[in-house]
Amino acid sequence: MKQALKFSVIKQLDGTLARTGLIETPHGSIETPAFIVGGTKATVKTLTPDQVAALGGQSILVNTYHLMLRPGADIMAAAGGVNKFMNWAKPTFSDSGGFQIFSLGMAYKKGIDATSHSEKGDALQAVHSSSQLAKVTDDGAHFRSQINGDKLYMTPESSMELQHKIAADIHMAFDELTSPLAGREYIKKAMDRTHAWAIRSLKRHQELNDEHLSRGENLQALFGVVQGAREEDLRQESAKFLGERDFDGYGIGGVFEPEEIANTVRWVNEILPNDKPRHLLGMGAQPADLFLGVQYGIDTFDCVAPTRQARNGALFTYDGRINIKNSGYSQDFTPIDKDCDCYTCHNFTRAYVRHLFMADEILGLTLASIHNERFVVRTVDSIRDSINDGNFFDYKKKFLERYYGVERAQDFLK
């Protein structure tokens, strides 16, 4: 049978789980490790697809939950799938909708607090409350639209049907994300439910691929999603269970602080098949995430943080993050970062970008987003080069000490 996805390992870094590789899809290839640009509603906020390609973006991840609400999966299908709809010629990922149902869906005005983000990992601080907008059962999830309050229902099967209409190259199986505050008993229950849903997702996915094959259409790939929160034995159990199933690759779900990434990812990737790609969901809010993920076997990441932080004026530089709104930049006629090769840094100054923010001009959001996305994409590209060149650890040390300072960088160099 024709393959939906092909993955090959190019170089494995001795003594580590880090590797470089190539993911081949119907819309082209992704050199790994790679940062997958967050395009939640079939758009990368403030950027055109051409701008995303120009800054080096190899792939975009879209959000099933938001696209089912508007414009609707049927419209996506009528347009010919997400690539044609948004005029993006390169590979695409879609998530299952599970994360939003268990965070945004429940968090809309009440329930889980999904709005708290910290510099330390920029992690979602999800907190369960007595009044939630979603009810999870073994069969699926009942929830309300955050747009108009309509009652909605999603199952593993319907998630697959929606994702196949969206028609990204790579999908995620329907899973349940647990709160960081959940107890072990509930974490285990949610993991078992995720496994049952994974089997159902895979079955429906294979049926839909058979339909694509009969019509001469591109096949679509499916990643199983490993859960288990911070429990080592549960993470290992989940990796073993899913690793034995016929998925095209694997997502690793959860809410992490940077110091938790190494162990949690290692527990999983020491077990998952070495010949399939591994994606760390929602990770890449700061550089340490990227280095630690790659070192412990991650091939791709996705995160909306670079553009979200950019729209708030928080810009990455190789000497640390800055707030471009600070008055000290009002007469700073240097680039955001003299070592950055992005369009913004080549053509504009800190003073100009600050002016745009203070004047509430949309161009400021665009220039800031180009810079932040290029910074993260380029960082992962450089990590990939360092693995191929055999100097990953030297590059990691040099980069993190410059970005965080020598003392703080030690937390990520141990």
Catalytic residues: 95, 302
The secondary structure element, H or E, covering residue 307 is: helix 305-311
Residue pair 82/163 in contact (Cβ under 8 Å)? The answer is no
d(CA 238, CA 240): 5
Residue 18 carries which side chain, given as an amino acid letter? A
Residues in Cβ contact with 25 at an 8 Å cutoff, skipping those fewer than 6 apart: 4, 5, 91, 169, 170, 221
The strand pairing partners of 322, in sequence order, are 315
Nearby residues of 310 by Cβ (< 8 Å), 6 or more positions away: 46, 365, 368, 369, 371, 372, 373
Going by C-alpha positions, the residue among 388, 279, 406 that lies closest to residue 19 is: 388
DSSP-H helix ranges across 155-296 = 156-166, 184-214, 232-243, 258-269, 287-295
Distance of CA 296 to the CA centre of its chain: 17
* Cα-based distances in Å from 107 to 134, 212, 305, 308, 346: 9, 36, 19, 19, 40
Residue pair 170/93 in contact by the 8 Å Cβ criterion? yes
The answer for 405, left when phi > 0, alpha when psi is -120 to 50, beta otherwise, is left
What single-letter amino acid sits at 83? Answer: N
Backbone angles phi, psi at 321, to 5 degrees: -85, 140
